[in-house]
Structure 1
Amino acid sequence: MVALSTRFNPDDHLEPAAMTCDPPNLAAALRHAEAGIPVFPALVSPGETSWNKRPAIAGWQAGASIDPERIRAWWRQFPHALPGIELGRAGLVVIDADRHGDGPDGIAALAELAALHGGLPVGPIVETAGGGLHYVFRNVPADPLGNSPGALPAGVDVRGAGGWIVAPGAVRSDGAAYREVDGAPSLAEAFAEDGAGDELPTIPAWLAEIIRRPKAPAKPETWRAPARPVAAPATVGDRERRYAAKALAAEAAKLASVTSGRNSALNAAAVKVGHYVGAGWIGEAEASDALAEAATANGYVAKDGSRAMLATLASGLRAGMAEPAAPLPDRIDDDAEFGAAIVAGLKRGERIDPKTAEANAGEGRPLRSEGASAPEALFDPWEAYIVPSFPLDVLPPAIRGFVEEKAVHLGTCRSALAMAALGACSGAIDHRWKLRPRQHGEWSVSPRLWVLLVGDPSRGKTPAINAALAPIEAEEAARRQAYLNAVGEHERAPVTSPEPEKPDRLVVGDVTVEKLGEILSRQSRGVLVKRDEIAGWVGAMEKYSGGRGSAVDRAFWLQAYNGGTFTVDRQTRGELYVSNLSVSLIGGIQPARLAQLRDLEADGLLQRFLPVMMAARTYPEDRPFHRDGDPYGRLVTALLHVHPEWSASGPVPLKVHADGARIVEALMRHLFDLEQVADVYAAGFQAFVGKLGGVFGSLALVLHLAHHPEAPPSYVPADIVEKAARIIREFIIPHAQEFYRTAATVTDGDRTAKVASWILTSGKTQFVPSDFVRNVAHFKNLGVWEVNKALSPLVAGGWLVPAEVGPLARKWTLSPAVPVFFAARAAEEDRRKAVLADLMRSPRKR
C-alpha cells in the first residue's frame, strides 16, 4: 500500500506512439483495444465553464469494441474524437478526483481519506486533461459499483458499470492530454496481464463500502426552489398564515414518515402546500425548506439524489401555486380555526373525542381521547385511487410525444395512454423475438404484454385504446385492401396463377377460442387482441364453451400468454395445430365490475394483466402540436417489419448486456423478497408479483426494439434495462396494489362520495339516521344498522364523530375540520348541483 501524493512532476510526459504513424487518439484507442479493453469514439469540446464530453456513437455501451478495423473506421468518421473506455464490460471502476480553483480539492480529500485507511494499492493512475486524477481498479465482480459517489468527499466521483472515461494517451484539441503518471502501472499493460500480476488491483473493500454508503445531505438552503413573485390576495391575515403554517407542518410530518412512493408523496405535498404559497399565506422559501427537510428524512435524497428531489419539489410547488387556495370559509361556530386545529391534530395522530366535539366546537382546543388510534389524515371520498403517474421519461421520444399529444386532445389519462402504447408496440412486434434477461441459463421472454385499463365509463378507456392501436389497425386495413385487390386481379386474369396469400392478422376483437386458434394456425408472429370491456371476454368463456365449462378456454388463454405450440380440439372439424399460440392483449374494465374477474384468480389468469388505475379525464383541448408527421405511427409500422435473426435452431435470442446484469439481479431480488411477504396483502397480489420477472423482461425487450426499430443491437444496454425496472418499481407495483385492494373489496366508493357531497352542501353539523334516509337516494328504506354500516367509511375517515361509543350510533357530529379541509370541494359540489338543477329545470336537490 502506498500513500497518495497531491503533487506530480510537471515534466511527466506521454510515452510516444512508437512504431506507428497513427494520430495520438487513434493510437491510444488501438493500444487499449489490443489489451482487451472495449473502446469507442468520444466527442470532447469546450463549453462555457468546462469541457463537454459525450459518446460519438449511439449505443456506445454495447457498441464499444476491441476490433481494430472497426476502431479505424470510427476514426475515419470522427477524426477528432478521443478514445473512450466502456468501463462496465471492462470490469473496471475509476475514482475520479478533481481539483478546480473554484471548487473542492478532491485530490487532497482523497489523499486524506486514503491515509486514514493505510493508503491505496498501487495501480494505474492517470492525470486528466483538466488536472484531476483517475485511479483505476478492477470492479467488485459479484456486485459491481456504478456511478454514484456515495459518501465520498466533495470533489471525488466514481465511474463504474454504466459509465466511461477518456482513455490514457488521449489529447484534447487544445493540446491538454490524459497522461499516465510516472511510477504507476500502465492501464493497457496491467489489463493485458489478465490477472497474472497485481498491477491492476480490485478496489479496496473499505473504499467500496464508502461508495455504497448514502451521502450525508447538504444544508436545506441548497435545496430552496427559485423564488417567484406571488400576488398575495387583498386580505391575508394571521388566520390564513396560521392555517398555512399548520398545513405545512402536517404535510412535512406526513412526508417524513413515507417509506415508499417517495416521489409521488413529495409531489402531492408540494402541490397542496403550493396552493397556500400561491394565495400568499406562506412564503415559497419556507415551504420549500420544510418539504426538502422532510424528503431528506424519509430517504428520498439518499436514494435518488438532491437533483431529482429538487425537480419534483419545484414542479409540485409550481402546480399548486398556479391554483391559489380559495378564501377560508366563515368561522364554524364563531371559530373556523378550530377546524384547522382538528386537521393538524388528525395528522399528528390525535382522535376527536365525541363527547367534547359538540360541546367545545369553536373554542380552538384540541380534542382527543386517551389511547385511541387515529386516521392518518382526513379521508377523501372523491380520491378514487392513490397511485403514481407513469414515468414518461423512460419512453422513446415517439411514444412520449404520442402520449402528451393525445392526453391533451382526448383529455384522457397519460398513464393509460402510455401503457396502451406499450401494449400496442408489444402487439406490433413479432412474438418470435426473445430476450434472455439473465447472463446464464436458458430462461427467455417474448414481447407479450396484457394491459388492463381500469376506470369508470367517463375516464376514456376506449379512446385511449383506439388511439394507441390506430397505426396497427390502419396497417391491417391497408393489407386487407391490397389482398382484396390482388384477389380481384387473380379472378380476372386469363392465365391461371397462384392464389394471393392471405395477409397475417394483426388485431382481432370479439373472437372465439376456436376462431382465434384458426387465425394463429396460419401465422407464427402472434396477434393482438383488443377488448374494450374485459368483463365481456370473461363472459364469452362461458357463453362459447359448449357446455364444457370455461376450463378449456382458460387453458387456451393461459398458453396464449406463455406462447408455444398448442392443439385446438374443434367439435366438428378435428384438431388444429398452432405452432406459436401467442397473444398480446389490451382491454378495459369498470371498477364496479371487478367482482366478475375474481374467479380468474384460481388459475392465475387475472395475474397476467398489468392494471392501470386511470385518473379522471380533463377537458379535451383543441391546440396544435408541431410534430414531423406521425412519429408514433412510423414507429409502430417499423416494429411490424422488424424480425429476429434466425439460426438452424430457430430465432436467436437477444441478451442483456453485462452492464445491466446488476440491475436485473437487484430487481429480481426485490421481487423475490416482495413475493415472500405479499400474501398479507389482498388476494391474488402475491401471485401477480411472482409473474413480474417475466413482465420486466418483456418490457425491456419492447423498449429496446422501440428505441432501435430499424437495426436493434443484439445486446440490450443497461439504460434500457433500468427503464424497464423503473416501470415495474415506480408504476406497475403501486397500481397493482390498488387494483387488488379494489378487486378484493369492490367498495361502494361512489356511494360514499355521494353522501359526503350531501353532508358538505347540507349546511348541517349534527346528523341523525333520518337525515340520510330522507336526503340521500341510496339510504332510502335503510334501517339504523344499515345506515351505520353505510356511514362507516366516513366515521373511520374522520368525517363523522358518533355521539356514543359502540357499534350502533344514532347521532353524529360533523368534524369541524371537514368544512375547512374540503372548502373548495364544497363550493364545487354546490355549484355542480345548482347547474344540474338549472339544466334539468327542476328544484335544487342536494
Structure 2
Amino acid sequence: MTDAQAKIETRDDNVASAINPPAAKKPAFVATPYKWIDPSTIPCRGETTQNWVAFEEDIDPQIMEWMRQAMAAKEIIESTAPQPANDNMASESAPVDLWQRRAHPPLPFGLLPPIIEEFARVQGELMGVDPGGLAAAALAVCAAAIPNSIKLRVKRHDPNWLESARLWVAPIGDPSTKKSPLISAAAAPLKRIDRDLFRSYQEARRKYDALSPDVKKDTVTPKHVRLRLEDTTIEAAQEVLKDSPDGVLCLQDELSGWFGSMDKYSSGRGAAKDRGFWLQAFNGGPYTVNRISRGAALIENLSVSLLGGIQPEPIRALASEAHDDGLLQRLFPIVLGAAGAGVDKPMPEATAAYDAMIARLTRLRRPSGEGSLGKYIDVPLQFDEAAQELRSSRAALLRHAMRVGVSKQETRLASRKI
C-alpha cells in the first residue's frame, strides 16, 4: 500500500466515524444509524447548510444531527485530501505575500504596559486608526526616548551581550489607513521635547557667540543634543549624532524615499556607504568619520530608532529587489487595518499620560554600583527569573523551527532531484 492509499483509507475511516461514530466514543445525542435524508422534509431556507442551521427550530432534531455529522465529514475530507505534487501549489511551501491585506486580529488586552495600551485604544478610537499600528509606533518612540546608556544583559552568564532599546517600525498601508496621522500622534511628545532642546541650544549658542575670544577659550562649546531626525542625509545625521550619544528617532513620512535616497549614486558605491551607515545605526556603538574637508570625528554612539510609513506596492518592490545586507529585515512591518472616521470628543487623559511617560523615559539614568566608586560602575538591567525562562523557551522553539524548516527544504529539494 502506498502512502497516498493509506492516507485516503485513513480519511475514509475518519469520515465513517464522523457520520456513524463507534458506540464507545459516541455521545448520547448522536443518531445511531446513517440514513438518507428525504429533501422534501427539509424546509426551503436557502442553498447552503449554514442557512438551514440558522433556522434549526423548524427542522426535526434528528435531521439536524445528520446535517452536523455531514458537515464534520466534509471538514475531514477537505483536511485529509491528498496535496498536489507541485510544491508551489502546496499551502505549506507556497510563497507568502507579507504585504497583502488580511483580516487583522484585535490588539490583545494586557499585552503592553497599561499606559501604552490605553493610549493606543483611546487615541486610536479618537482618530479612527488601527490601535495595533498606533501601539507599535508608540513602542518605537519609547525606544528612542530611553537613553542608550541603559542596557539590558540578555543572558545570565554572558556579560558581553548587552542591548539598548532600539526599534525600527514600518506601518504599511494605503493612504486611507492614515499612516501619517498615526505616526504624528505617536511621535508628538518626543517632537515637543526635541523642540525645547533645540531652543535651549539656540539660547546657549547665542550666549556663547557673544563671549570675547579670551573667555571662549575657557568655555565649553554648547552641544546640540537632539532626539529626532527628519529628511536627512548621512552627513547631516553624523553632525547631529556627534552630540547625541543617547540616540535619536528618525521619522520618515514615506520610507520609499528613504530607501530611494540610498541609490542616488549611479555607481552604487554611495548607496553601499549609506546602507552601511544605517546598518551601524541600528546596531549602535562607536563610529568614526574621516573626511578631507571636515577632518576626523568620533561619534560616541551611533544609535537611531526608525519610524516610517510605506505603501504595500513600494515595499513589495523593495523586498523583491533588496540587497542581501539585512537592512530591510531590520524593520518590523506592521500591516495596518482599515481606518475609520474617528470620533469627536474631548482629548482623553490617556494621551496626557502617554506624553508624561515619554518625558520620564528621556530622564532615565543608568543604574550604578554602590560605594564611593559606584558611579563609575555600570550595572546593566537583567531579566528576572520568569522572563529569563520565557526568553530561553522562545529561543529553543526558534532553534527547533529553524531545524524543521531546513529539513523540509532539504526534503523538497531532494524530491525535485528524484
Spell out the pairing of 1:355-434 with structure 2 (5 A cutoff).
384-434=101-151
| Residue matched to 2:310 | 589
CA contact 2:150–2:164 (8 Å) conserved in 1: yes
CA contact 1:433–1:651 (8 Å) conserved in 2: no
Note the C-alpha offset of 1:509.
Answer: 1.2
CA contact 2:145–2:190 (8 Å) conserved in 1: yes
| Residue matched to 1:152 | none
| Residue matched to 1:566 | 287
SS at match of 2:288: strand
SS at match of 2:149: coil
Aligned mates of 2:406, 2:82 — CA distance in 1? 30
Spell out the pairing of 1:777-792 with structure 2 (5 A cutoff).
none
| Residue matched to 1:515 | 236
Aligned mates of 1:401, 1:621 — CA distance in 2? 16
Name the CA shift for 1:559/1:650 in 2 (closer, same or farther; >3 Å). farther
| Residue matched to 2:366 | 644
| Residue matched to 2:393 | 666
Note the C-alpha offset of 1:648.
Answer: 7.0
- Quick one: which of 158, 162, 168 aligns to 1:441? 158
Question: Structure 2: which 5+ residue stretches go unaligned?
Answer: 1-26, 28-42, 58-70, 92-99, 369-373, 410-418
Greater RCO structure (CA 8 Å; 6+ sep): 2
Note the C-alpha offset of 1:427.
Answer: 0.5
Note the C-alpha offset of 1:608.
Answer: 1.0
Aligned mates of 1:629, 1:584 — CA distance in 2? 22
CA contact 1:244–1:282 (8 Å) conserved in 2: no
CA contact 1:423–1:585 (8 Å) conserved in 2: yes
Name the CA shift for 1:672/1:396 in 2 (closer, same or farther; >3 Å). same
CA contact 2:204–2:222 (8 Å) conserved in 1: no
CA contact 1:535–1:597 (8 Å) conserved in 2: no
Note the C-alpha offset of 1:596.
Answer: 2.1
Aligned mates of 1:641, 1:501 — CA distance in 2? 19
Aligned mates of 1:612, 1:680 — CA distance in 2? 29
Matched, 1:469 2:187: yes
SS at match of 1:426: helix
Aligned mates of 2:106, 2:347 — CA distance in 1? 22
- Quick one: which of 337, 361, 375 aligns to 1:615? 337
Aligned mates of 1:677, 1:450 — CA distance in 2? 29
Note the C-alpha offset of 1:479.
Answer: 2.0
What's the % identity of the aligned pairs?
A: 33
The superposition leaves residues 75-117 of structure 1 with CA deviations (integer Å, 9 ceiling, x where unpaired) of xxxxxxxxxxxxxxxxxxxxxxxxxxxxxxxxxxxxxxxxxxx
Name the CA shift for 1:371/1:628 in 2 (closer, same or farther; >3 Å). closer
Partner AA of 2:398 in structure 1: L
Name the CA shift for 1:664/1:511 in 2 (closer, same or farther; >3 Å). same
Aligned mates of 1:585, 1:628 — CA distance in 2? 24
Name the CA shift for 1:488/1:565 in 2 (closer, same or farther; >3 Å). closer
Spell out the pairing of 1:302-321 with structure 2 (5 A cutoff).
none
Partner AA of 2:116 in structure 1: I
SS at match of 2:305: strand
Aligned mates of 1:437, 1:530 — CA distance in 2? 28
Note the C-alpha offset of 1:629.
Answer: 6.8
Note the C-alpha offset of 1:482.
Answer: 2.9
CA contact 1:534–1:588 (8 Å) conserved in 2: yes
Aligned mates of 2:184, 2:393 — CA distance in 1? 36
Spell out the pairing of 1:263-342 with structure 2 (5 A cutoff).
281=55
The superposition leaves residues 572-621 of structure 1 with CA deviations (integer Å, 9 ceiling, x where unpaired) of 32332212111111112111112124444511111111111111112222
Question: Structure 1: which 5+ residue stretches go unaligned?
Answer: 1-218, 220-236, 249-275, 284-342, 351-369, 377-382, 683-846
| Residue matched to 2:222 | 501
CA contact 2:262–2:274 (8 Å) conserved in 1: yes
Count, aligned residues: 333
SS at match of 1:504: coil
Aligned mates of 1:638, 1:566 — CA distance in 2? 28
Aligned mates of 1:545, 1:506 — CA distance in 2? 32
The superposition leaves residues 26-83 of structure 1 with CA deviations (integer Å, 9 ceiling, x where unpaired) of xxxxxxxxxxxxxxxxxxxxxxxxxxxxxxxxxxxxxxxxxxxxxxxxxxxxxxxxxx
| Residue matched to 1:35 | none
The superposition leaves residues 799-827 of structure 1 with CA deviations (integer Å, 9 ceiling, x where unpaired) of xxxxxxxxxxxxxxxxxxxxxxxxxxxxx
Aligned mates of 1:511, 1:375 — CA distance in 2? 45
Aligned mates of 1:581, 1:478 — CA distance in 2? 22
Aligned mates of 1:565, 1:545 — CA distance in 2? 29
